[in-house]
Amino acid sequence: MNNLSQNSFELLPSVQQVLETVSAEITPVKHTYLTIIIREELDAVRKRIQTTRFRLKSRDQALTLIRNAVITQIQELTTTPIKKVINATGVVLHTGLGRAPLGEQSLQFLMNIAPGYLNLEYDLKSGKRGERLDLTDKYLCLLTGAESSAVVNNNAAAVMIALNSLAYRKEVIVSRGELIEIGGSFRLPDVMKKSGAKMIEVGTTNRTHLRDYENAINHRTGAILLVHTSNYRVEGFTIKPPESDIIKLAHKNNIPVIMDLGSGALIPTGSMGLPEEPLVSDTVAAGFDVVTFSGDKLLGGPQAGLIVGKFPYIIKIRKNPLMRVMRCDKTTFSLLTYTLSKYILDKKTPEVAAYSSLTRSRDQLRSMAQRIVENIINKVNNCLTIKICDTLTEAGSGSMPIETIPSVAIRISSDRISEEKLARLFRQQDPPVVGYLKEKRFYLDLMAVAEKEMIFIQNAINRVASQIKAK
């Protein structure tokens, strides 16, 4: 350790000194927690001195540095790290930003029902204990044509509990071309392994034949799993047998067939001018025994894994002890029943926030962009260059992969700072505005921006311009 490092350590304040400095400037926090945070910040500075060339010049500088870091951390903890974010990425079902927006109407419904008690597991007709899965069962059976249903906390859980219920300690046949990796490096083989089923791969990445499935079937086979490649496509020199042939082969051998749809649409997306996505009802009608899909993708509801299919298999899933581990709470069931209720209404487009965004035309989006620009152009043209341009976006979360959706964005640039710094400034606004960078240009795409959120983008542009001018 050199003398400069030693001097920097000696300049660090004590915990008590920091306590006396920050106590009057923050929301009252329990002394124990405040002390822990101060010690963490002191340790962080010590490590910075040890591992980098960072050096302290005075006691005042050291105290100010620790004080500001502690105040920032306390402010974040007391206001919670979850923030309202303006999604200007153009991706409506953005996994990082919470996937499907729930919309004001569903949240109003939740506000009316959630503050007190609700009949989550109470049968109002009989006055006896009920079953929470029955709250959504009628909707799911009606909308998909299935005989029964179950709900767990996400689609990976739905696949796992289906495999565990129907093929525990048995073999499950799956094509190599369908061994998908879900977001966050979460792979289907890993889910299958944890389910207690043994994965039997058949075929190759690009070509799987019916005889591959047939040759793999034996007395240890518990199920055949098919996976909709919702987040990629295998194209070119490819082949796979018709699903009907696989189902026929499986049923001939008394083996259930599970289909993991991933996104799963309840209504024809093509009729709304969107790319086609497999319908859950068509999948059920095709003869699959169990079908799994997500609640917060194209369905447009809360995070959930939905399982529909034939009664004998669904009842096994419902009775699995893992249902207790994977079950959803009252908030999820409230939002899910509300969302599903919108699909039975006689309307071309369901009153679901995700579809309100996905089905807007370029003309509508261009009108929004023009209204935003008209209110900010005179204030920022000295330091920001703004242009409205046509773009192409995607639904997100693996829904309608490869297919693009026409959109409109506001392209912003500055000759004073880089696009990366510009994007960072927008993320630092209140609320944060998250756009995207493409070919070294910064865009605010309006596909996922609600009409009421336009003012936030307008204000963010004005504030960013002011911050750039001040530099």
Q: Which residues touch 35 (CB under 8 Å, ≥6 apart)?
A: 15, 19
Q: Which domains does the chain have, with CATH numbers?
A: 3-79 (no CATH), 86-95+357-470 (3.90.1150.110), 103-351 (3.40.640.10)
Is 166's pLDDT higher than 60? yes
Identify the bridge partners of residue 87 per DSSP, sorted by sequence position.
434
Say how far residue 355 (Cα) sits from the centre of its chain: 16
* pLDDT at 400 (0 to 100): 53
Using pLDDT thresholds of 50, 70 and 90, give the confidence band for residue 324.
very high
Q: Average the pLDDT over 34-44 and give the result.
A: 94
* pLDDT at 305 (0 to 100): 96
Alpha-carbon distance values, 149 to 286, 306, 314, 318 (Å): 17, 7, 6, 8
Query: Taking a C-beta distance cutoff of 8 angstroms, is the pair 36, 29 a contact?
Result: no
Is 14's pLDDT higher than 80? yes
DSSP 14: P
Q: Average the pLDDT over 295-304 and give the result.
A: 95
Q: Tell me the pTM.
A: 0.88
Peptide bond just before 431 cis, omega within 30 deg: yes
* pLDDT at 2 (0 to 100): 59
Residue 214 in tokens:
């047939």
* pLDDT at 291 (0 to 100): 98
* pLDDT at 223 (0 to 100): 97
Query: Taking a C-beta distance cutoff of 8 angstroms, is the pair 422, 442 a contact?
Result: yes
- Helix ranges (DSSP H) in 239-309: 243-252, 280-285
- 131 three-class SS: coil
- The DSSP bridge pattern shows strands 171-175 and 198-202 to be parallel
Residue 306 in tokens:
């939905």
Closest C-alpha among 337, 318, 336 to residue 150: 318
Q: Average the pLDDT over 240-260 and give the result.
A: 96
Is 447's pLDDT higher than 80? yes
- 249 three-class SS: helix
pLDDT one-digit tens code per residue, 196-234: 999 999 998 889 999 999 999 999 999 999 998 765 666
Query: Taking a C-beta distance cutoff of 8 angstroms, is the pair 102, 335 a contact?
Result: yes
Task: Reduce the secondary structure of 326-371 to three states and give it as a string.
Answer: HCCCHHHHHHHHHHHHHCCCCCCCCCCHHHHHHCCCHHHHHHHHHH
Give me the chain's average pLDDT, please.
Answer: 91
Identity of the residue numbered 136: T
* C-alpha angle 136-137-140 in degrees, rounded to nearest 5: 85
Residue 244 in tokens:
């009907």
* pLDDT at 237 (0 to 100): 73
Closest C-alpha among 187, 170, 285, 195 to residue 227: 187
The dihedrals phi and psi of 441, each to the nearest 5 degrees, come to: -130, 145
- Give counts: helices (H), strands (E), the chain: 19, 15
- 404 three-class SS: coil
